[in-house]
A and B are shown apart, each in its own frame.
Chain A
Amino acid sequence: MIPDRIIEQNTLKTDGSTSTVEVRLPWYRSLPAASVSEVEFSVDGVAAPADSIRWTMNGRTYRLDDLVGVIDEWWFPTDSAVLSGSIPLEPGGSHEVRVALKLYIPYIVTDHGVLRIEEHNEKTMEAVAS
């Protein structure tokens, strides 16, 4: 659903070793943190190692594994989450950012289990120093 909205244009930041980008919910209603199942983040084809990825939502920062079972924090449809990961990058220049999300939809359960949507987005933007 509206996957073109996932990456917020012009939000790529870097401190040289860690890159961050703001991401939007590709769904029409709030989802709990526990719905965030898998996250991929890459810049110019260089993927952040999974164990380096951090997810910041409502002012709280999580490792991906720590999102499991979190049902007291919700991702509101007009809020940005901040995604960061170990991707070496210098400020400036034009970069291809890619984010892929797999999200559980908590009220849709099919014969194959809880519906998990897979959405991805690519956008080109300049990196600024964080």
Chain B
Amino acid sequence: MTTRLGTPIQGVTLYSFTRAFHAREYDLEALLRKVAAEGFGPGVEIIGFSSIRDFPKVDDAFVGWFRDIMAELDLVPTSLAANGDWAVDPRRLMSIDEVVEYMTPQVEAAAALGFPVARITPTGLPPEFFEKILPVAERTGVTLALEVHAHHHGRHEDIIRLRDAFERIDSPLLGFTADWGATVVGFAPSLLEAYRRRGASEELLTAVSELWNRTYQEGPPETQEAHGERFGAFIGLAHQYGRPDLGIDFAINGTGLFGPAQIDTWEGIAPWIRHVHGKFFGIDENGEEPSVPVRGLIRFLIEHGYSGAISSEYEGWHWNSWESPFDIIRGEHAVQRSAAADAGSRMITDPAEARAILSSHLAQPTR
């Protein structure tokens, strides 16, 4: 590659602090102040439906308050996570036109609040959705970045189909959010510890870890059927070891959180990566992430010229009630900065520099 080395922007998604927010220990303002005080920015991502009451309705008072506090704290809004709730009424799925209509106010909210990117989910949205919502992106100037999340990955056929559509449509406003959970190298030790605390035997934990390692050796499932077989294998293991109650948990996490694709699968969509979820699960006693190859992923992004935001997305909060998510984010940011230096570049931590670089990153054509 002859691409100039990238300079990714450091940041965090408030999703990492879900446990503290849900427990009413920190409200939105307190979390933003904490992020600023700890230096977890400058980039900040929020999930609309998590952090904002009555989302996607945002009135002028809220918009003014949000813009003021972001300015006061010198934080940089990076991505507003939007959701295509096509089963909002679970009795029937929305049509594509209805999903477009449902998501339009979310994209408008992103623009109103100053977010240049709207993270789009679910991954199963077809090319037609993006063709139909593109005018909203053009009107608001918000980039739409579909999240590529395990069990998908950068070379999955569903993703390549979308990439081809984006190539055809040829708009700088359509791209992907790369979620590092697609490219994991081990079953998270902190989750094994959580199962241990729920009484799982060492034999069972070893077997779960080994089963995951086998799926890693085999690579990501090529078909939905193969995905289903793996799901079933985790459940089978739980039954075999007399803990059927843990089966669904093993299966959901083993197939949906820890995606076994190799880092280079991101090659499939690299020019279209507009935003990154730096998904990870914990930091070990050596200060490293034992199950997500953070150093390799940072190197990959830098060598591919990526200068967008990386929202550190700590997912271990689901099961880890014994460690502070703030300490863990601090630890992962240190790994990211060290990895960026090792790759001959750096993470952007200065807010003014971050604003300039993010806007130039998002203005670039995808090809």
Binding site for B on A (CB under 8 A): 1-2, 5, 24-25, 28-30, 32, 34-35, 37, 68-69, 71, 74, 76-78, 104-109, 111, 114, 116
Contact = CB atoms under 8 A, between A and B. Distances in A.
B15 interface: yes
A79 B93 CA distance: 27
- Overall SS of chain B's interface: loop
Chain B: interface size category: 20 to 34
Interface of B: 15, 18-19, 21-24, 27, 47, 49-50, 53-55, 83-91, 93, 121-122, 124, 224, 228, 318
25 contacts: A1-B318, A2-B19, A2-B22, A28-B22, A29-B49, A29-B83, A32-B85, A34-B90, A35-B90, A69-B89, A71-B89, A77-B18, A77-B50, A78-B21, A104-B90, A105-B87, A106-B86, A106-B87, A106-B90, A107-B83, A107-B84, A108-B87, A108-B122, A109-B86, A114-B87
Given A77-B21, A77-B22, A78-B24, A34 B89 contact: yes
Given A29-B83, A77-B21, A114 B90 contact: yes
B122 A109 contact: yes
Contacts of B84: 107
A5 B22 contact: yes
Contacts, number: 73
Contacts of A68: 91
Nearest to A77: B22
A28 B15 contact: yes
Contact of B88 (A34, A76, A77): A34
Contacts of A25: 22
Contacts of B47: 28-29
Nearest to B54: A74
The 3 A-B residue pairs with the shortest CB-CB distance in the complex, in nearest-first order: A106-B85, A29-B49, A104-B90
Contacts of A32: 85, 88-89
Contacts of A71: 88-89
A35 to B, nearest CB: 7
